[in-house]
Amino acid sequence: SANTLLLGVPASAQSFKFAAINDPAGFNTEARGINLSGEIAGFYQTDTTCRETVLDIRYMPNCTKHGFTYINGAYKTVDVPGAISTVVNGLNDYGDLVGTYTTNDGGIYGFLWLHTGTIKQINAPQQGYLAIPMSVNKTLVVVGEWGGGSFRWSNGTFADLKVASDSGCPSCNGAAGISNGGTIVGYSMKGDSWRGFLKRGTDFDFFPKFENGDSFTDAVNDNADMVGYGGGATIAYLAKTVESNEGTSDVEKSPAYIKFEY
């Protein structure tokens, strides 16, 4: 995985600088989140015999993982105590982490790991369903996906986040990112492809296809700048201030995608 830094140049002439993020303790490093201080969090693998698909890695890795943080040039392994596998999916500006962990008996649980050391479980309200926390903001609102679609968790309260999907697959959606102000982004199956979405207050936007294919919107800030990927999972994008593109008639318009490829 790579950490992508945008240089301050016009959109028509955007260029990017890539820096490798590879935890030296393992391989298949996945950088999943970055905060205002530039701290990065994610997970890596040490078992060289285990293989999984891109979708496995995105939703719920099958191989044993270890979480990590990358702060001031130093990697630190982050494993939930007693867990055999820890997946870190996001962090906030205080360094609080969210993700999932697996126990010896095969149980999988969502977690919020506060920078103070306290670990809270985040579990789906229905037995047999897994909650996968993907992002947390600085007010400790967590969003993610579960067997019923998308969820929002705050102060111990788990709430289903209603996201429209195809009638044949009403739970085919997932919340992936939340800004400090509460703007939420994610993805949903609409028509014949995955579409990125943005929820800001009562406004709920679904975006057109990206590169004539799937679009997964993964993160957003309070300016409604969002990042994601699509085009057969090979092209990443940045779309700035997407809400400003709508106009006065509230007709949804395609974001101005800035594409970048490693």
The pTM (predicted TM-score) of the whole model is: 0.90
Q: What is the rounded distance in angstroms from the CA atom of residue 45 to the CA atom of residue 41?
A: 14
Contact 114, 120 (CB under 8 A): yes
Contact 220, 212 (CB under 8 A): no
Please tell me the predicted confidence (pLDDT) of residue 247: 55
Please tell me the predicted confidence (pLDDT) of residue 262: 67
68 Cβ neighbours under 8 A, 6+ residues apart: 23, 25, 29, 41, 42, 43, 44, 75, 76, 77, 78, 88
Token reading at 23: 């935890």
Please tell me the predicted confidence (pLDDT) of residue 2: 37
Please tell me the predicted confidence (pLDDT) of residue 243: 83
Please tell me the predicted confidence (pLDDT) of residue 173: 94
Q: What is the full per-residue pLDDT of the chain (262 aa) written as tens digits?
A: 333 344 334 444 467 788 899 999 999 999 999 999 999 999 999 999 999 987 777 778 999 999 999 999 999 999 999 999 999 999 999 999 999 999 999 999 999 999 999 999 999 998 889 999 999 999 999 999 998 899 999 999 999 999 988 888 888 999 999 999 999 999 999 888 899 999 998 888 898 888 888 889 999 999 999 999 987 767 889 999 988 766 555 556 778 889 887 6
